[in-house]
Amino acid sequence: MTEKNMAVDAEALGLWQDCLREVLDARARELREKFDRSLPLQDALSDRKDRARSLGFAENATIYGSAFVYGTVRVGPETWVGPNVILDGAHAPLTIGAWCSISAGVHIYTHDTVTWALSGGRSRMKQAPVSIGDKCYIGPQSIIAAGTEIGTCCVVAANSFVNADVPDFTIVGGSPARVLGHVEFNGDTPILQFGKAL
């Protein structure tokens, strides 16, 4: 490549960068004015509903651009998947119901490599499906282990490690997660009852 070609390429790159910067600045202003927020590039530029549709999620589901999706993942209608989430359906099916909130930083795995690592590769990794029922709240930074079933209307507290099944209408939290209470309803209003068994 000649010096002249290099100069042209550098000039074209500079113009492209200036154009991209203008687009990003305009999008940043729009997000601040409409929603009072500032997002990283991948979340600022992606449309959450369009991404959910492209992944085959149900009607009105949304997923942030920074979320990772692997393998077979089914998500029900009206479910929100937040930023920096990992949905790992690469080793077994992962199913999430309708009207769920999968908070920022949640990791849901259908495999783990503990036995594989400890055995120096002689044992296989664990692979098992995960299902989360309708109307569940999974708190920020929580981890759902392979083989776990979470029922309907459940709450998982922030920073929890869920490695056992969670019955319908149950609140769990901790690492490992344990039962903290249950969910009741007063008409349409959910009431979180802590320290009481069903």
Residues 87, 10 share a domain: no
Domain count of the chain? Answer: 2
Residues 131, 85 share a domain: yes
Residues 127, 91 share a domain: yes
- Split at pLDDT 50, 70, 90, the class of 1 is low
Q: What is the pLDDT of residue 4?
A: 55
Give DSSP secondary structure letters for 23-73: HHHHHHHHHHHHHS----HHHHHS-HHHHHHHTTPPTT-EE-TT-EEEEEE
Question: What is the average pLDDT across 98-112?
Answer: 97
Residues 56, 127 share a domain: yes
Q: Which of 100, 105, 101 is nearest to 141 (CA)?
A: 105
Give the pLDDT confidence of 143-197 residue by residue, as tens digits: 999 999 999 999 999 999 999 999 999 999 999 999 999 999 999 999 999 986 5
Residues 79, 33 share a domain: no
Residues 81, 7 share a domain: no
pTM of the model as a whole: 0.84
Instruction: Give the CATH number, domain containing residue 59.
Output: 2.160.10.10
Residues 83, 181 share a domain: yes
Domain boundaries, position 4: 1-38
Residues 113, 21 share a domain: no
